Amino acid sequence: MTGDAVTGDAVNRDGVTRAGVLPASLNPRVRAPGGSPARGASEVFSGLLQVVFALLSVVVLVASVGGWVLYNHLNGKITRVDLGLTGQRPAAPARGVENYLLVGTDSRAGSGGAYGDAPGQRSDTTILVHLAADGTSTMVSFPRDTLVTIPEYTDTNGHRHGAHRAKFNSAIADGGPSLLVNMVEGLTDIRIDHYVSMDLEGFRAITDAIGGVAVCVLPSTYRDVFYDNNVRKVSTNTNDPMSGFLGGPGTVQVDGRQALAFVRQRHGLPEQDLDRIRRQQQFIGALFRKAMASGVLTSPVKLEALLSSVTSALTLDSHTGIADLRGLATRMRDVATGSIHTVTLPTHAPTRAEGAIGDSGELPGLGAVQLYDPIDLERIVAPLRPPDSGTEVSPSPLPSVSGSGSGASGATPVTPADQITVEVYNGSTVAGLSSRAATALTRHGFRASNEGNASLRSHTSSTVVYGPGQDTAARTLQAAVPGSTLQRDPTATRLELIVGSSFTGVVADAAGGQPTGVGPAATTGGDAAASAHPSTPVPAAAPTCTY
């Protein structure tokens, strides 16, 4: 089989190795019953704030130059929070540099139960925006389930809590915005200058303030059958019971509630997360066109409603005002053109070797979390720190794949690429991804063969599966595929690469080789290739009609 099916659960291998059969929960080629975990209505899509602040790039600039009366009126509508950060903090940014922490929470406050009744708030979307002095911008996203160390803090009742491990998104629930900022600063060694957040109700209000947005939905025959809390559900791109989106095919006018469902939907889309990203890109363009229309920006009544909705939806730290958002707003206009550099910290589910309970991907006392490699994080954030911060970039332990037989810095032994045979499987719903990965590996000297689709099609990160005696070859292959993880299978007799949706290419050298482009997966911005090269821009073209 030379191509990858886009839909369905077609399998061209049954998950049986020559040495025996692996359980479905362990074998990355086998889809477990029910498929990938269903996401409930509480999830805010990754990148929601990119849409919101793309709109802010228009309205905040209008407000900031619209006169002191309007400025003071709107500035007074913004909710403020005193972060009260004390003690040792990272070095101050260099002159002309600013760092914003943009947070999208799942707070239901003021929604009347429209998005469920989950109490409190969690930071479902957290983005560190680095505005460099040379005019470039970088957006670093942190997956919400990433296992991190929450710093010690004192709660509102005066009880002191020691540092502990927990999910990234729990910090704001435990200790509010102050704890979240403190945690991010400790994680990245980057000082946060400005804190900006918005919840679900704020997004809805902004969309409604401009009178809704017209989106275009393509016809599709794809049906996604899955189980949510043991209940069988069926989603299509025009009817998704999980997000609540209903409409199309064709042009659909969406209000705030349906707009949120439109950009959050994943089930029922042929390419799931990739199609969701394309929806978000389409919505950004539609939002801009509507906001720039003469009927909105030239109408005092409509403009006032839009500005009031935007400012009322924001929560800022006590030292940040509308004037401080000018730089952010100007840069965020580039979201619509794709010229902002975006990267997501690569993560993976814990394995047995990493302490997981059996093959569940859960850690005792912590549940289902995602793990990250500190080296990946360092590669992402090191270029964003001030040059005199005193923080050194940790050298990568990954070997070179140059085929010379000597590792990077000579520290790690490698197997020459031309001596490595690897079977490549598509572990995502991106059409043709295993074929492109195999081609890229072949160009770099590997003996790679395209084996078509894996049974499990929900991989984000790529996985190198290897058996006894293949450790060195596996590490060489891992170094060639940024963001990939190793999984040792004692029954495996061949080296295998399960390609995830974040795959963007193969590098000639783990420390600084340039990736071989392989197509649409690069639009996610969530890969380690971008980690090593944070200046890689996302594609500029935004679709006008999507699934």
| 482 has a pLDDT exceeding 60 | yes
| 31 has a pLDDT exceeding 90 | no
| 540 has a pLDDT exceeding 60 | no
Whether the Cβ atoms of residue 147 and residue 366 lie closer than 8 Å to each other:
yes
Give the residue with greater pLDDT, 340 vs 318: 318
| 22 has a pLDDT exceeding 50 | no
> What's the pLDDT at 49?
59
Give the residue with greater pLDDT, 141 vs 52: 141
Q: How does pLDDT run across 93-126, given as a tens digit for each residue?
A: 988 999 999 887 765 344 344 333 343 455 667 8
> What's the pLDDT at 492?
77
Distance of alpha carbon 205 from alpha carbon 200, whole angstroms: 9
Q: 315-317 and 79-81 as β-strands: parallel, antiparallel, unpaired?
A: parallel
Contacts 24+ apart (CB under 8 A), 438-444: 440/505, 440/506, 440/516, 440/518, 441/480, 441/497, 441/506, 443/506, 443/516, 444/401, 444/417, 444/480, 444/506, 444/508, 444/516
> What's the pLDDT at 145?
86
- Label residue 404 exposed, middle or buried (CB < 10 Å: 0-12, 13-18, 19+): exposed
526 vs 139, 186, 346, 460, 509, CA distance in Å? 11, 22, 7, 9, 20
Give the residue with greater pLDDT, 470 vs 181: 181
> What's the pLDDT at 254?
95
For residue 337, give every residue at least 6 positions away whose Cβ sits within 8 Å of its Cβ, in sequence order, or none. 540
Q: Which pTM does this prediction carry?
A: 0.58
Adjacent-strand bridge partners of 140: 128, 343
For the chain, the residue count is 547
- Label residue 96 exposed, middle or buried (CB < 10 Å: 0-12, 13-18, 19+): exposed
> What's the pLDDT at 308?
81
- Please provide the distance, in angstroms rounded to a whole number, between the alpha carbons at the two ends of the chain: 26
Contacts 24+ apart (CB under 8 A), 400-405: 400/479, 400/509, 400/510, 400/511, 401/444, 401/445, 401/476, 401/477, 401/479, 401/480, 401/507, 401/508, 401/509, 401/510, 402/508, 402/509, 403/445
Give me the helix-helix angle, 300-313 and 48-64, nearest 10°: 120
CA 74 to chain CA centroid, Å, is 31
| 89 has a pLDDT exceeding 80 | yes
Give me the helix-helix angle, 325-332 and 48-64, nearest 10°: 120
Can you tell me which residue has the tokens 């975990």? 37
For residue 329, give every residue at least 6 positions away whose Cβ sits within 8 Å of its Cβ, in sequence order, or none. 53, 56, 57, 58, 60, 61
* φ/ψ (deg, to 5) at 200: -60, -40
Q: How does pLDDT run across 136-179, given as a tens digit for each residue?
A: 888 888 888 899 999 999 888 889 999 999 999 889 988 989 99
Q: How many CB atoms lie within 10 A of CB 8?
A: 13
Give the residue with greater pLDDT, 285 vs 35: 285
Taking CA 304 as the corner, what is the angle to CA 298 and CA 309, rounded to the nearest 5 degrees? Answer: 125
The half-sphere exposure of 47 on its side-chain side, counting CA atoms within 13 A, is 25
For residue 85, give every residue at least 6 positions away whose Cβ sits within 8 Å of its Cβ, in sequence order, or none. 178, 181, 182
Whether the Cβ atoms of residue 453 and residue 434 lie closer than 8 Å to each other:
yes
Nearest to 183 by CA among 150, 154, 152: 150
Give the residue with greater pLDDT, 544 vs 390: 544
| 4 has a pLDDT exceeding 70 | no
Q: Is 27 helix (H, G, I), strand (E, B) or coil?
A: coil
Give the residue with greater pLDDT, 336 vs 371: 371
DSSP structure string for 309-348: HHHHH-EEETT--TTTHHHHHHHHGGGTTT-SEEEE---B
Whether the Cβ atoms of residue 153 and residue 177 lie closer than 8 Å to each other:
no
117 vs 42, 106, 367, CA distance in Å? 9, 10, 22
Give the residue with greater pLDDT, 483 vs 528: 483
> What's the pLDDT at 475?
86
Give the residue with greater pLDDT, 60 vs 346: 346
Task: Give 543's pLDDT tier (boundaries 50, 70, 90).
Answer: low
Q: Which amino acid is at 340?
A: I
Distance of alpha carbon 271 from alpha carbon 279, whole angstroms: 11
| 7 has a pLDDT exceeding 90 | no
| 19 has a pLDDT exceeding 50 | no
Q: Is 252 helix (H, G, I), strand (E, B) or coil?
A: strand
Nearest to 122 by CA among 103, 100, 147: 103
Structure token pair of residue 338 = 């794709």
Taking CA 165 as the corner, what is the angle to CA 351 and CA 189, rounded to the nearest 5 degrees? Answer: 105
| 134 has a pLDDT exceeding 90 | no
Taking CA 530 as the corner, what is the angle to CA 481 and CA 287, rounded to the nearest 5 degrees? Answer: 130
> What's the pLDDT at 226?
85
* φ/ψ (deg, to 5) at 157: -95, 5
| 479 has a pLDDT exceeding 80 | yes
Mean pLDDT confidence for 413-417? 78
Q: How does pLDDT run across 498-507, given as a tens digit for each residue?
A: 998 888 788 7
> What's the pLDDT at 98?
93
Mean pLDDT confidence for 24-43? 31
Task: Give 410's pLDDT tier (boundaries 50, 70, 90).
Answer: very low
E strand or H helix at 72: helix 68-75
> What's the pLDDT at 77?
83
* φ/ψ (deg, to 5) at 167: -70, 150
Q: How does pLDDT run across 235-286, given as a tens digit for each residue?
A: 999 999 998 999 999 999 999 999 989 988 889 998 776 687 678 778 877 8
Structure token pair of residue 312 = 């009322």
Whether the Cβ atoms of residue 253 and residue 259 lie closer than 8 Å to each other:
no
| 542 has a pLDDT exceeding 70 | no
